[in-house]
A = this chain, B = another copy of it.
Amino acid sequence: MDLEISPLALPFPDMPPIEGVTLRVARAQYKKWDRCDLTYAKLAEGTALAGVFTKNVCCSTEVEMGREQAKRGKARALIVNAGNSNAFTGHRGREAVEQIMAQVAAHLGCDSEDVLVSSTGVIGVPLPKDKAQAGVAAALTADPCSWEDAANTIGTTDTFAKGATVSAMLGDTKVTLNGIIKGSGMIAPDMATMLGYIFTDAAVEPEFLQQCLSAANERTYSCITVDSDTSTSDTVLAFATGKAGNAPIASFDDPGADAFMAAMEDVCRQLAHLVVRDGEGAQKFISVSMQGAVSDDSARKIGHAIANSPLVKTAIAGGDANWGRVVMAVGKAGEPADRDRLSIAFGGIWAAKNGLPLSDYDETPVAKHLAGQEVNITVDIGLGQGQATVWTCDLTHGYISINADYRS
């Protein structure tokens, strides 16, 4: 199925090289398609590793192994297979992953545990070992490629390549964080799995890298949703080569730690937004800004209830400032809320305050706001200081077409 480029697509940014990272792509031909589908990132010795993974309890072999590798905290290579997720394939699937790890490790002369593998695509079919072997062999010796080539190669149903780059000063040392990500439906169990990779030349201890990635994840990847479904393979990995030459950061007490954390969150937020912008059938990018909840966690949960509500998402698709559906979504979140303290705004214009529609509410500017591609919903729970922002897209005929017809 050929998909049109999302109307919310952004151009691929100009991304500088990261010292200690070399990207290569090859054709494993996991599917019958005329494109590269195997990505290889070679990482310098001493590269630190961190990872966050799907909370779906039916996760893939790659996720189970990745969790263990992230605990070790070091990496020398990443292989990403596109076109076959290798999920629900039992021991044969695991053998395919172990074969790839051994093959790359032999080439680099490293431990096989230092080779990370991700797979995305159809499920229930073991990754074909012969195609994987030939694909990896081709990738190991291919010419280095660009960030955009790699971003395209990890993609499946994505309609555009997704990348982000952020720089930060750690004392006198400039460091760069480059990220690429794939995922469109958020988050389907097969082709639309979210896989994200952040590469930096900063010197960061693995534990602190994990701390930063986990914190950023809470406020970025964990705050986006397209359809409430969560993939069995979702993975975000961070690699720090240490080649920038800064004094290694081990805690927030170290110089530059705050700047690094801010840069990590920035690049993660950009990447997360790009996934929403490629949401299946998305026509509008929706920010749900919560305030006044009893806690930040409560704010995030209510925000998700709103962002996952099919009735809210179809209303926005129809350009309808239906604040009643927002009230409904707040009420079903299971978090503290009081109908008579609730206030709701679209595009900064309050439609309802303290549970009642405003008598002087003018729908004209709100309708104009909802006709645009960027929609802001603000909800004040009126009970406390808890805040959060959740991002999603509208629910359209395009979503139905893509997902009802996917396998056929």
CA distance A140 to B5 in the complex (A): 60
A88 x B311 contact (CB < 8 A): no
B90 x A404 contact (CB < 8 A): no
Q: Which of A176-184, A215-223, A227-235 contacts B (4 or more CB under 8 A)?
A: A227-235
A238 at the interface (CB under 8 A from B): no
B328 x A232 contact (CB < 8 A): yes
With A230-B328, A328-B188, A331-B230 already in contact, the answer to whether A314 and B58 are too (CB < 8 A) is: no
Q: Taking CB as reference atom, which chain B residue is nearest A189?
A: B328
CA distance A123 to B352 in the complex (A): 12
Interface membership of chain A positions 109-141, coded 1 if the CB is closer than 8 angstroms to chain B and 0 otherwise: 000000000000001110000000000000000
B320 x A58 contact (CB < 8 A): no
From residue 310 to 352 of chain A, which have CB atoms closer than 8 A to chain B? 310-311, 314-315, 317-320, 322-325, 327-332, 334, 336-340, 342, 352
Main secondary structure on A side of the interface with B:
loop
CA distance A325 to B231 in the complex (A): 9
B356 x A189 contact (CB < 8 A): no
Contacts of A332 in B (CB 8 A): 55-56, 229-230
CB distance from A107 to the nearest CB of B (A): 31
Band of interface residues on A: 35 or more
Q: Taking CB as reference atom, which chain B residue is nearest A361?
A: B124
CA distance A396 to B396 in the complex (A): 10
CB distance from A298 to the nearest CB of B (A): 12
Q: Taking CB as reference atom, which chain B residue is nearest A356?
A: B90
A406 at the interface (CB under 8 A from B): yes
CB distance from A192 to the nearest CB of B (A): 9
Show 6 residue pairs from A and B whose CB-CB distance is below 8 angstroms, ordered by the A residue: A88-B355, A227-B310, A229-B325, A232-B339, A397-B401, A400-B400
Instruction: Knowing that A57-B337, A227-B311, A395-B400 touch, tell me 8 more A-B residue pairs with CB under 8 angstroms.
Output: A57-B334, A87-B324, A89-B356, A188-B311, A314-B400, A314-B403, A319-B408, A396-B400
